[in-house]
Structure 1
Amino acid sequence: MTTTQAKPTMMELQEREHGLGHDYAEGSPHIRHHTIRGRLISCLHTLVREVIDQHGRCRVLELGAGHGTFTDHLLAAGAQVTVTEMSAPSVRILQSRYRHNPDVTVIHDRDGTGSWQVGGVDAVVCISVLHHIPDYLGTIERVVGQIAPGGSFFSAQDPLWYPRRSRMSMNLDRNAYFLWRLGQGHLRRGLATRLRRIRGVYDDTNEADMVEYHVVRDGVDEEALRDLLAQNFEAVEVQRYWSTQSGVLQTIGERFFPPTTFNLVARQRK
């Protein structure tokens, strides 16, 4: 008698990839490169300052906080922060890191749907997280419903939607990522993943494919996201830019290569 092994859930795949001891900075351009990191930190401080000036406080919901890299900057800007994470090991790190800070609440988001309610917030922040969420538009629609009038939404460092990108943009992006992978000593994994991409095959039991869900869904549709937010906010702005893991290629790409990722900020919730 044979038994069929159950397909792993997204939470289980996240925990395989982002388990205890995982270094989020290793493969994250927004943490590795000071030009991107500095720009994001500046945006977060501006967002929090604008909300505090208007409301006298800033309650932030941060989706997919990882180990709290940008949570620290939200707190430094004066925000009270509720953070969510799907990976249980990362949740434990967040709980330990902020156990003495009354301005931080940690939520274990087991299914990644954003179906929980945290009450009214003044801003939602998503940094390098939407491409991990299969139904990111549905999730954003739900969390936007929790933003108070006059509040803001900020998303950053997610891949632009593939069908609108040129072949040169896609090839530069994928080859830069592959070269970085080889430099990390992940030759076997890098080659196996590359072969699956060339064949158009995606393994829904493999965290290398499913945690980076954008490879299945063709990136993040920044224009669909903008249109969704425009129904709820007075002003929505999309900023496109190049990013990659390699420091050398990031320096070159910022000057010469086409955009691969984007920031989006929506202000003044209706």
Structure 2
Amino acid sequence: MTTETVVPMHDLQEAVHGDGHDYLSGSPHLRHAYLNKWMRDTLNAVVTELADRLGRPPRVIEVGAGHGGFTETMVSAGAEVVVTEMSGPSARSIAARFRHNPRVQVHHDLDGRLDVHGEVDLVVYMAVLHHIPDYLASLEEAVRIVAPGGAIVTFQDPLYYPRQSRTSVALSRAATLAWRVTEGELARGFRTLTRRVRGVYDESSPSDMSEYHVVRDGVDEDAIALLLGRSFADVDVHRYFSTQGGWVQTLGERVLRPNTFGVVATGRR
């Protein structure tokens, strides 16, 4: 159940990812070195393969680039990257970071449209799909603008809750709450957790709506694989464990079931 107030998504994203926002603190794929390296290596391999085959810098759209850490990886691999970012402060931060690099263009994106950028060779979502209310529609638009032979890569989204055990979901929530204790946000964590357990969400609250997956039980990896499988020759779904806290991550990757996923789709037909 939700309240009636509806706040534009770009306002919610900017409220959460404003000036001075620390992406590293709340982002397992940035905090944990082996996850970060794995994703960078994956992006590097996709960009390098495209560059070698095309004989030119691949054209890339990176949706919701945060502060541009993965942008740097793709540029180093030979890509030309258009960065879209809904948060004005984050867009300005990326623009400043790459202000001397003509291979990076930054677009402050208020409506989430991708078709305005024309045809590209690769679309990348890093920890973004769960922020998008209709992520399947966004992926459908991405498919339409990817050139033949191109690719889509997405990482760091929560697996669809109904296909996880209750124990896995409960442990993931507990791990997030434990991380909030270390961040001094215990009260906020309990309030958010209580609302989520009750199925009550506030559409005016950045805490609820910026993490849009809480409204619809995670992100449906099977639906994504099915959608991309209609247009790409190879679609690989990677399931893994991911949480913010260091000691919980160490334990989780050894004994807990996956709670997070990425998809690498290549060979656009």
User: Is the shorter-chain TM-score for this pair beyond 0.5, marking a shared fold?
Assistant: yes
Point out where structure 2 has 5 or more consecutive residues left out of the alignment: none
Residue of structure 2 in register with 1:25 after alignment: 24
Query: Who is 2:71 aligned against?
Result: 71
Map of 1:60-209 to 2, 5 A cutoff? 60-112=60-112, 114-209=113-208
Q: 1:67-87 CA distances to partner (integer Å, 9 max, x unpaired)?
A: 101101111111110110111
Percent identity over the alignment is 52
The code of the aligned residue for 1:176 comes to A
Q: Secondary structure at the match of 1:70?
A: helix
The residue matched to 2:117 in structure 1 has which SS? coil
Q: Which residue of 2 aligns with 1:215?
A: 214
Aligned to 1:46: 45
Query: Deviations along 1:60-107, whole A, 9 cap, x unmatched?
Result: 110100110110111111111011011111111111111211101111
Structure 2 Cα separation of the partners of residues 219 and 21 of structure 1: 27
How far is 1:115 from its partner?
Answer: 4.6
**1:253: how far off?**
0.8
CA deviations over 1:121-146 (Å, ceiling 9, x no partner): 11111110000000110011112111
C-alpha distance in structure 1 between counterparts of 2:115 and 2:195, whole Å:
35
Separation of aligned partners in 2, 1:131 and 1:6: 21
**Secondary structure of the corresponding residue to residue 258 of structure 1:** coil
Which runs of 5 or more structure 1 residues have no equivalent in the other structure?
Answer: none
The offset of 1:56, in angstroms, is 1.4
- 1:229 maps onto 2:237 in alignment: no
What's the counterpart of residue 14 of structure 1?
13
Q: How many Å separate the matches in 2 of 1:234 and 1:164?
A: 26
2:26 is aligned with what amino acid?
G
Tell me, in whole angstroms, the C-alpha distance in 2 between the residues paired with 1:188 and 1:206. 15
CA distance in 1, matches of 2:131, 2:262: 16
TM-score, with structure 2 as normaliser: 0.96
Tell me which amino acid in the other structure corresponds to 1:68.
G
Q: Deviation above 6 Å: which 4+ runs of structure 1? A: none
Inter-partner Cα distance in structure 1 for 2:252 and 2:86: 32
Q: CA deviation at 1:188?
A: 1.7
Counterpart Cα distance in 2 of 1:32 and 1:241: 15
User: Matched residue pairs, number?
Assistant: 265
> What amino acid maps onto 1:213 in structure 2?
Y
- Secondary structure in 1 matching 2:116: coil
Cα distance in 1 between the residues matched to 2:114 and 2:50: 25
Deviation at 1:243, TM superposition (A): 0.2
In the aligned structure 1, how far is the partner of 2:93 from the partner of 2:238? 32
- Provide the secondary structure at the position in 2 that maps to 1:174: helix
* SS in structure 1 at match of 2:69: coil
Kindly provide the amino acid, as one letter, of the partner of residue 98 in structure 1.
F
